[in-house]
Chains A and B, each alone.
Chain A
């Protein structure tokens, strides 16, 4: 299983490299360091969110509310910044993180204590969080001129050739790598997803593990909320609208199994990068951006077909015909 997973990631790396090289044939500037740094910058937020979503999916749950959580946290810190410019930006980042975690914890508590299916909970909170943005902002936007310069500058500040936004993503990837491969908590995420019953017998509190997964996803969404709003310098109700499905798609392309228990940090990052490369490549090779959606849809379908080939369990088939019919 392990070698298969590794294999899949290599395939994904190969696909991304081939894609980038093909684009470079048309316009060599595409693989210049400057352009690559740009792709990383564009993809950073998706990478972080995909990692948060991966943890949730690993525990056999799903979080549809991440994009709404992001937009709500972004709106709140933007309003705080507009109302009280004297609050230092790092404090705002912490505030976004705290609010995001709280919103994630709300999802988690409903899943853990009331045992409501995660897709129902987050479907509900998705609409609630979006609506709350409207209520808080009174339907108006927070525009660039209302935000302080420091607020907008943080993600764009360059350090060692790449933006702080990219550094955020790199640090988050490193943290997730340690969390998932070096800690009992990381292992309990996998155990919960692979076999909840066995996990319970092994002394893992399955409900609490799910709760923590939702908190992690919320935390990531909150921080991404600040970064998103600061980067695009505008906060409005529909910020990152529909992004929740892009996040899940990045996970799926990265080989995270929607049935839980299977997925790696590397895979999720590559899945997100695949999106980044495709989105940046289209304008370069002169394809209308309107093709983007259909292309990512096809990529998701191909990825899931490919994944299911390598996932197929080699169990004993008792009733051959019945198996084929299903």
Chain B
């Protein structure tokens, strides 16, 4: 009782209701790191090429990554919950093929959009059912559906091509909302805001983190783990469907090899954005920053006439270096 001060007030021991220690500070510094990297690349770009710093270039830049970034938003939630979806690029291929097929039967623009987004949602639900109902590992399931979905579009299309999309359909991938601000960019920013709200400001978002940190504990705390994971797979499918609409509209044609390799680029964005591939940690702001960084890198290198395949060296190296640096620093500090 020696602790009780003379005034009679009981001194409380302060127990924070949320741990704000290393995890939060690390997350903060991660986003700072991304901001610094982004500024560095932006500055380097504007010195390297005289064509970089003008409104039209910067507007073009956004087309580079918005479609992948839309998928990355949903993928981030999925990875935080401890699952993964490798089939997103194949979903794009299938959605685009189905839209192309519908065009051959004279579908109008609203129908096309509905088909693209609806098909994406169904593909995501298919993944979700296999993972949550049958309890299969998502990485294997989605490697399977990755072959299956793109395989279906190969069966439909063969080595052919679908063209002849209606004129009004071109708006989604090529249109501008205001001056140089494209529809794609606006859509991405709105989507990012929604995902930020859902992940960081709602019960649903908190449950996603809970599942990613310890699915069993979450289950016993009354979180419907299976249901939430199913919703996340549907969301990823939905975003892939939206990306399919944008990409198809931008290209104006569909081939079965469309969006090949995008699954790995979307995952790279998510991981670069500081989302733990093991689940349970990450933020939408990080993913958005990573999307801009990847867009800046590829666009800047493109202005310098660096071929696309060489650009991948930079994205690959960026991924490893950005992940390795904090770990190296921590090791050095300990040593």
Contact = CB atoms under 8 A, between A and B. Distances in A.
Interface of A: 62, 64, 110, 114-117, 119-121, 123-128, 130-132, 134-135, 139, 237, 242, 245, 248-249, 252, 258-259, 288, 290-298, 300-301, 304-305, 308, 319, 322, 325-326
Interface in B218-276: 219-220, 224-227, 260-261, 264, 267-268, 271
Interface centre among B154, B224, B278, B309 (most CB of A within 10 A): B309
Given A114-B328, A322-B220, A325-B219, A294 B320 contact: no
Given A134-B309, A326-B226, A125 B320 contact: yes
B327 A115 contact: yes
Given A126-B264, A128-B316, A304-B137, A139 B323 contact: no
Contacts of A117: 277-278
B140 A258 contact: yes
B175 interface: no
Given A116-B327, A127-B316, A291 B264 contact: no
Interface string B198-215: 000000000000000001
Contacts of B312: 127-128, 130-131
Interface in B297-320: 307, 309-317, 319-320
A56 to B, nearest CB: 14
Contacts of A124: 268, 316-317, 319-320, 323
A130 B137 CA distance: 28
B147 A249 contact: yes
B135 A308 contact: yes
A242 B320 CA distance: 21
A134 B312 CA distance: 10
27 contacts: A114-B328, A116-B320, A116-B324, A123-B268, A123-B271, A124-B268, A124-B316, A124-B320, A126-B264, A128-B320, A131-B313, A134-B310, A245-B146, A288-B158, A290-B157, A292-B151, A294-B147, A294-B148, A294-B151, A294-B155, A297-B147, A297-B148, A297-B149, A301-B148, A305-B134, A326-B225, A326-B226
Contacts, number: 156
A100 B150 CA distance: 30
Main SS of chain A's interface residues?
helix
Contacts of A135: 310, 313
A198 B16 CA distance: 35
B136 interface: yes
Contact of B154 (A130, A245, A290, A326): A290
Nearest to B87: A297
A224 B113 CA distance: 45
A292 B150 CA distance: 11
B130 interface: yes
Interface range, B side: 35 or more
B213 to A, nearest CB: 15
Given A297-B148, A300-B144, A308-B136, A120 B277 contact: yes
Contact of A128 (B86, B215, B267, B313): B313
The 5 closest A-B pairs by CB, nearest first: A294-B151, A297-B147, A297-B148, A131-B313, A293-B151
A48 B126 CA distance: 33
Interface string B156-198: 0111000000000000000000000000000000000000000
Contacts of A252: 140, 143-144
Nearest to B323: A116
B139 A258 contact: yes
B103 interface: no
Contacts of B224: 325
Nearest to A312: B135
A304 B140 contact: yes
Contacts of B140: 252, 258, 300, 304
B37 interface: no
Given A304-B140, A322-B219, A325-B219, 10 more contacts: A119-B277, A125-B316, A128-B317, A131-B313, A132-B313, A290-B151, A291-B155, A298-B148, A304-B137, A319-B220
A249 B320 contact: no
Nearest to B134: A305
Contacts of A291: 151, 154-155
A223 B252 CA distance: 42
Nearest to A135: B310
A296 B215 CA distance: 31
Interface in B118-141: 130, 132, 134-137, 139-141
Contacts of A128: 312-313, 316-317, 320
A259 B278 CA distance: 13
Nearest to A290: B154
A117 B320 CA distance: 11
A304 B148 contact: no
Given A290-B154, A295-B151, A121 B320 contact: yes
B66 to A, nearest CB: 20
Given A131-B309, A258-B139, A301-B130, A114 B327 contact: yes
A258 B140 CA distance: 7
